[in-house]
Amino acid sequence: MRDLISEIWSTLRQNKLRTTLTGMAVSWGIVIIIVLIGTGNGLMNALMNNTSDEVQKTISVYPGMTSKAYNGIKEGTSMRFTDRDLVFSEQFSNKVDRASGNLEFSDTLSLGTETVTSEIYGVDPLIKDIWRVRIVSGRFINKSDLRDRSKHIVIDQNVATQLLGDDQDFSKLLGRFINVGNIPFKVIGINEAEEQSWGHWSYIPYTTAKTMRTDGAWLNRITLEFNGLEAKAENEAFENAYKKAINTFHGFDPEDTRTTYLQNSFLSNQEVSKAIRIMRTALWILGFLTLLSGIVGVSNIMLITVKERIHEFGIRKALGAKPMSIMKLIVVESVAITAFFGYIGMVIGMIADYFLDKTIGSHPMDIGFMQMYIFKDIGVGFDVALKATLLLIVAGTIAGIIPAWKGARVRPIEALRAER
Amino acid sequence: MLIELKDVNKTYFGAQPLHVLKGINLGIERGEFVSIMGASGSGKSTLLNILGILDNYDSGEYKIDGKLIRDLSEAKAAEYRNKMIGFIFQSYNLIGFKTAVENVELPLFYQGISRHKRHTMAMEYLERLGLKDWAGHYPNEMSGGQKQRVAIARALVTKPDIILADEPTGALDSKTSVEIMDLLKDLNEKDKLTIIVVTHESGVANYTNKIIHIKDGVIGQIEENRAHDSVKFGSEGPLK
């Protein structure tokens, strides 16, 4: 191997300029691949809101209105969910593990003289995953909060900053009591608020919210945690059956589809991951095509090299070089060029990703009514770097094989007779 | 008999088929120093290529040390060339980007000999040919005579059965030509090497002990030349 490397080194030194120019085509190809995949990842990360964990299978049920008169009930009658619907939903099918509700209202939060109006969401702990609430300090509502009807509240950074005054670190609010209306709540967690530019969202346990709304407010949403239902068709059949059953339960037309709106996290996750898969494949193909032009360049140069070295190969053959050893010489040279320059390209590509992440990846874009991240965490993982390296070696081999075969095939007398 | 050719025929098929070797019969014993002489177009180069297993022949038999050389795969032919034949070319055929010692090492590399041992062996032969101090030089830093001596070292380093020299003095001046021929003669006498020189110069042929004349693809006269008087020295100049 050492001999082979020193052989290749000495021949590469012969043609420094040509080797470098050829290599740059490969470097460029790899830079393109890494930047494309890196920004593609950034786009997808932003799309998935940076949460790639497996989300619990849930169906969110939102109330609607009847779309036609039925059995004495007028068109336009609102669906109103109560705790009875939670019990009904849990008993509806053994596929439903649990049903929980959301109770939402708005109120004034106050600390001393500072006040903020916020939406108050009485929620179940599982909402954290469904809404992808990101806690920056403290924790979210948990099961014991729910059980104990704790007066605990999770507020967002903006609310915290406004309550404390601008120059204060929001995390100082953790553990302190603020008033919701006139009831004191302990701040147990602070969540990131960057995704929405206005509107304040605070979370309290569902059970606590219920005690505050004795006037009998309706549930804004029911969340069903379910099991099984792997296929899309199964999910749809389940959803239809559920709609019919709950319509019947409320005395509505079973066939009325407007009374409830269902959102299936499992199915929408599937859709998103399908879109991401397609996007990722498309990016690889684009990158690969770019790399291909680099490979063709290397292959061409290797062909010229072989032609120039035909006399030398003749000498080597006369001295006892087997076709295989000539072939190896050329292929390894080709792999060496692609791997070396490809590696350089990979490093440049990763640096480019790093700068992109620090610029467009770190600043939300203003799209008029709100700010949002188009890119998030631009960059490639170790696995992509590894795949790209493998791709390079394969590419180098492919680029070398045709020239190598030509070099190995030429008969020694013809090679010796060749012009030098 | 080290080399045995029986009725060897070779035709080049082109637009006009060319029957270059028309039934060559030839035997060369181990330790002989012979020359094959002929004008250009006589078939001597083709014969040399066949002897060197660089080319195939159409019919007949060619045996080296009893081994039939026919229809070999490229890899097998390369192996035989490496082990049995040492080549000396008119144009030296050294590899330009390798130093003298690396050039001499090359056939040993193809035998799979270790780096260190290869170097030692190559240095040994360079020293014998008086080129020890030139081991690290590249061919373009050497004179024609030095280059040819590197090539001879390279041909000798594998201890082959046969040394094939194709116009070994063709690119050298007459003084250096004499030196190279003396060297080959010496190798034959002292090391009992079998040397076949292909040439069109009678002065070169006169150094050998046997001169085989080839004309129009057939062996003509085979001349014993122990006395080295086949051509009066100086009748065509010392060698040219």
Residue A275: CA count within 13 A, CB half-sphere: 12
Considering only CB atoms, A412 lies closest to which of B54, B83, B111, namely B54
The closest alpha carbon to A160, from A135, A183, A141, belongs to A135
Cα–Cα–Cα angle for B57, B59, B63, nearest 5°?
Answer: 70
Q: A9: which residues sit within 8 A by CB, 6+ positions away? A: none
The angle subtended at Cα B77 by Cα B73 and Cα B81, nearest 5°, is 175
Give the domain ranges of chain A: 2-52+269-417, 65-95+230-258, 96-226
H or E segment to which residue A90 belongs: helix A83-92
Nearest-angstrom CA–CA distance, A345 and A353: 12
Question: Taking the CA atoms of chain A, what radius of gyration do you get in angstroms?
Answer: 33
Domain regions of chain B by residue span: 32-57+79-239
Q: How far apart are CA A365 and CA A370, in angstroms?
A: 9
Phi then psi for residue A79, to 5 deg, are -75, 130
Of B74, B97, B110, the CB nearest to A319: B110
Q: What are the structure tokens assigned to B35, written together?
A: 């020359």
Phi, psi of A80 (to 5 degrees): -125, 115
Task: Tell me if A319 and B106 make a contact (CB, 8 A cut-off).
Answer: yes
ipTM of the complex: 0.91
Residue of A nearest to B154 (CA): A319
At A359, list the tokens: 């610029």
Do residue A320 and residue B110 have CB atoms under 8 angstroms apart? yes
Chain B residues near residue A317 by CB distance under 8 angstroms: 78, 81
| CATH 1.25.10.10 for the B32-57+79-239 domain, yes or no | no
Amino acid type, B130: G
**Pick from B109, B110, B115: which is nearest to B80 by CA?**
B110
Whether residue A416 and residue B81 make contact (CB cut-off 8 A), yes or no, is no
A1, A319, A333, A411: best to mutate for the B interface, most B CBs within 10 A: A319
Give residue A239's identity as a one-letter amino acid code.
E
For residue B134, which phi and psi values (nearest 5 degrees)?
-100, 5
Q: B4's torsion region: left (phi>0), alpha (psi -120 to 50) or beta?
A: beta
Which residues on B lie below 8 Å from A10 (Cβ)? 97-98
What pLDDT is attached to residue A228? 81
Which secondary structure element, helix H or strand E, spans residue A4, and what is its range? helix A2-14
- Per-residue pLDDT 10s for chain A (420 aa) are 777 888 888 778 777 888 888 888 888 888 888 888 888 888 877 776 544 445 568 888 999 999 888 888 888 888 889 888 988 998 888 888 888 888 888 888 998 888 888 889 999 988 887 777 888 888 999 999 999 999 999 998 888 888 887 667 777 888 889 999 889 999 999 888 755 556 788 999 999 998 887 666 788 889 888 888 888 888 889 999 999 999 999 989 988 888 999 988 888 777 777 888 888 888 888 887 887 887 888 888 888 888 888 999 999 999 999 999 999 989 988 888 888 888 898 889 889 988 888 887 777 766 555 556 777 778 888 788 778 778 888 888 888 899 999 889 888 888 888 765
Sort out which chain A residues have CB atoms less than 8 A from B55's CB and list them: 411, 413
* pTM of the full structure: 0.67
- The residue assigned the tokens 């589809």 is A257
Decide the pairing of beta strands B59-64 and B67-68: antiparallel
Q: Map residue A69 onto helix, strand or coil.
A: coil
Nearest-Cα distance to chain B for A16, in Å, is 14
- Residue A306's closest CA among A400, A394, A395? A400
Cβ-defined contact of B75 to A324 (cutoff 8 Å): yes
Model pLDDT for residues B224-236, shown as the tens digit of each residue:
888 777 764 445 5
What single-letter amino acid sits at A205? P
Phi and psi, residue B226, nearest 5°: -60, -30
Instruction: Tell me whether strands A135-138 and A183-191 are parallel, antiparallel or unpaired.
Output: antiparallel
A317 touches chain B (CB under 8 A): yes
What's the token pair of residue B83? 């082990």
Round to whole Å and give the CA distance between A104 and A72.
Answer: 30
Query: Of chain A residues 12-41, which have a CB less than 8 A from chain B?
Result: 13-14
Dihedral angle sign, alpha carbons of residues A321, A326, A332, A333: positive
- Cα of A348 to nearest chain B Cα, Å: 33
The angle, 0 to 180 degrees and rounded to 10, between the axes of the packed helices A2-14 and A323-358 is 70
One-letter identity of residue B45: S
What is the H or E stretch that residue A104 is in?
Answer: strand A96-111
Q: What backbone phi and psi angles, to 5 degrees, belong to B108?
A: -70, -35
